[in-house]
Structure 1
Amino acid sequence: MPVSLSPYALRQQIRQGSFTGNTSGYCAGYVQGNLAILPKAFADEFLMFCQLNPKPCPIIGMSANPGEFMLPDLGQDIDIRRDIPRYRIYEDGKLTSEVTDVVEYWQDDMVAFLLGCSFSFEEALIADGLEIRNITEQVNVPMYRTNIACKSAGRFSGTTVVSMRPMKPADAIRAIQICSRFPSVHGAPLHFGDPAAIGISDINHPDFGDAVTINEGEVPVFWACGVTPQVAIESARPPICITHSPGHMLVTDLPNSRLAIL
C-alpha cells in the first residue's frame, strides 16, 4: 500500500520531481482532482459542458481569474503548473506530449478547472470493507471509452469515459449506496455487468490506465470518470490544452467529508 503522506508533503515531492506516479491510494481522507487548463476563449464553453455533464465532470474548483495558477481555495501553496505528477499537452485536440510540469506552456489567458475524482470515494468503499482491486494490485485504475453520449456545449462534445472496479454483485449494490452520497466525485456507478452494453469491446484492454484481475463471481462496476473532458477536448480542438495524465491527480487539502451528503 502507498505510504502515508499529507497532501502538502506529497505535492512537495511532486514539485521536486521525486514522485511521478499515479496518486490512487495516497493521502487518505483528502479530495483528489482531475485537471483541464484551457485558454479563456474556450473556458466558458468548457464550463457549460461540465455543468451539462455533472456525473463525469463535477467541478470542485477553478482559477479565480484567467492567468492565475495558484489555487489557495484548494490547499496550501498549490501551483497548478507544478503540483501534479504528470500532465498531458494537447495541441489542436491532439495529444503531443506528457511532462512533469507545465511552467513553459503556461499562458496569461489560461483558466484551470479541477474536477472531482473517483479516488475520493475509494476511501469510503474501503472503510466499508470493499476491496479496490487497482489499489490491491498497485496499478492505475482501468478506464474505458463508452458509447454513452455527453450533452454538447459549443465546441465540446463526446462520449463518457468510465473507470472500472470489479466486485461481487452484492458488493456492487453496496457500492451504489455508498457512492450516492458523493455526487461531487461522480456519485453512483453508471453501470455494472456486461461491458458491451456501454460499448466496451474488451474489458482486458482499457483505453487508459491498467487492466486488473476480475475474479470468478465478480462483475465489472463502472463509474463516470474525469478523463471524459479529454475526449471532449479532442472534438473542440483548442490550440492548446493541458490536462492531468490519467491517474495522476492534484491532491488537495480539502477533506473528503466535505463532499459527502450525510
Structure 2
Amino acid sequence: MGVSGAADPDSFFTGMVVMTAPIDPGGLSPEQARALFRGGLRVPTAGWCAGWTQANLIAVPRDHAYDLLLFAQRNPKPCPVLDVTEPGETSASLFSGDLRTDLPGYVVYERGEPVAEVPDVTRHWCDDLVAFLIGCSFTFEDALREAGVPVRHIEQDRNVPMYRTNRRCRPAGSFRGPLVVSMRPVPAGLVADAVRVTSRYPSVHGAPVHVGDPVALGIDDLDRPDFGEPVDVRAGEVPVFWACGVTPQAAVMASRPSLAIGHLPGHMAVTDARDARYVVP
C-alpha cells in the first residue's frame, strides 16, 4: 500500500528492473542494501541489515526547514532527529549513500499532495532542499525478537501497519498535523517486556504511546491502516502502538509546503550507524 491519497503506485514504477530480494537481507551491510535499492529493488526494509540503524527521510525547502526542525523538537516522540543535511546535500554524516537514489522508494509531495511514488528522486531534488533523518522503530525490532517478543510484520513478510490518530502534534510555525503510530500485536504476557525493551531506545521512538483499544486513538479498523499493510492480531494478543516517523509526512500533507520528499512508508534509509548507538543502559 502506498501513501493514502496517492495515485496507483504501479504507475510510477513502470520500466523498473524487477529484482528479487536476497535470501538473507538481515545479513547485508548498508552498502550492499543501498546498492540493491539503487538498482531498482523496491521492498519494505524491516529485518534488513541486522544491527544497522534505519531512518525515516523527509526533505523540505530551506525556507521550511526551521519550522520542521522546531516541529520535531516539540514532538520528539514521533520525530527524533538523527541527522540534518545542509541545503542541497545528497548524503549525511549517518548516510554515506545518495539520499536521492539509495532508498527503495520515495513519495514526492507538492503543496501537501502526494504526486508521485518513485524509485529515484534525482529529478525532483533541488539545491535548497534540507533533508532530515528521523529515528525508526525498526531499530529496536531485533531487540524485541531477542527478548521473545514476536514482530508480526516480519513473520508475515509485510510492511508494518501505520495509522493516523486523533492525537494532534504540537504545532510549530507552518507545520501541524496528527500523530502517526505503528502497531505490533504482542501476547498479553509479553507486553511488559515489549515496553521495557523499547524504552531503552528513546532516540528511535522509545516506549509505546498506547497499549490496547485502538479506538482510544481514533483507529476504527486495524485491518485498514493508513500506510503499510494489515497484520494478524491473534487470540491472546494486544495491539501495541509506537510513535512513528511517518508523522512528518502527515504534517506535510496537513501543512502543504511547496515541495517535500519523503521515504515510501516502511521503505527506509539504511544508515551507517549501529543500533547500539541508540541504546541507553
Select 1:98's aligned residue among 107, 112, 117: 117
Determine helix, strand or coil for the equivalent of 2:261.
strand
1:74 is matched with which residue? 94
Q: Where in structure 2 are the equivalents of 1:26-175 lying within 5 Å?
A: 26-63=48-85, 65-71=86-92, 73-75=93-95, 77-175=96-194
RMSD of aligned residue pairs (Cα, Å): 1.0
Task: Map Cα deviations across residues 173-227 of structure 1 (whole Å, 9 max, x no partner).
Answer: 1111111110010000001110001110111111110100111011100000001
Query: Identity rate of aligned residues, in percent?
Result: 50
1:187 is matched with which residue? 206
1:238 is matched with which residue? 257
Q: Structure 1: give runs of 5+ residues left out of the alignment.
A: none
2:16 is matched with which residue? none
Contact 1:155 1:235 in 2 (8 A): no
- CA offset at residue 27 of structure 1? 0.4
2:43 is matched with which residue? 21
TM-score, with normalisation over the residues of structure 2?
Answer: 0.90
Whichever residue aligns with residue 97 of structure 2, its letter is I
1:260 is matched with which residue? 279
Task: Map Cα deviations across residues 89-129 of structure 1 (whole Å, 9 max, x no partner).
Answer: 00001011100011101111110000000100111101111
Whichever residue aligns with residue 60 of structure 1, its letter is L
Q: Structure 2: give runs of 5+ residues left out of the alignment.
A: 1-22
Aligned residues: 258
In 1, Cα distance between equivalents of 2:204 and 2:190: 19
- CA offset at residue 170 of structure 1? 2.1
In 1, Cα distance between equivalents of 2:154 and 2:115: 29
Task: Map Cα deviations across residues 127-154 of structure 1 (whole Å, 9 max, x no partner).
Answer: 1111100000000000111011100001
C-alpha spacing 1:2/1:197, structure 2 compared with 1 (3 Å): farther
Whichever residue aligns with residue 5 of structure 1, its letter is L
Determine helix, strand or coil for the equivalent of 1:103.
coil
Where in structure 1 do 4 or more consecutive aligned residues deviate above 6 Å?
none
TM-score, with normalisation over the residues of structure 1?
Answer: 0.96
1:203 is matched with which residue? 222
Select 1:6's aligned residue among 25, 29, 46: 29
In 1, Cα distance between equivalents of 2:224 and 2:125: 34
2:266 is matched with which residue? 247
- CA offset at residue 70 of structure 1? 1.9
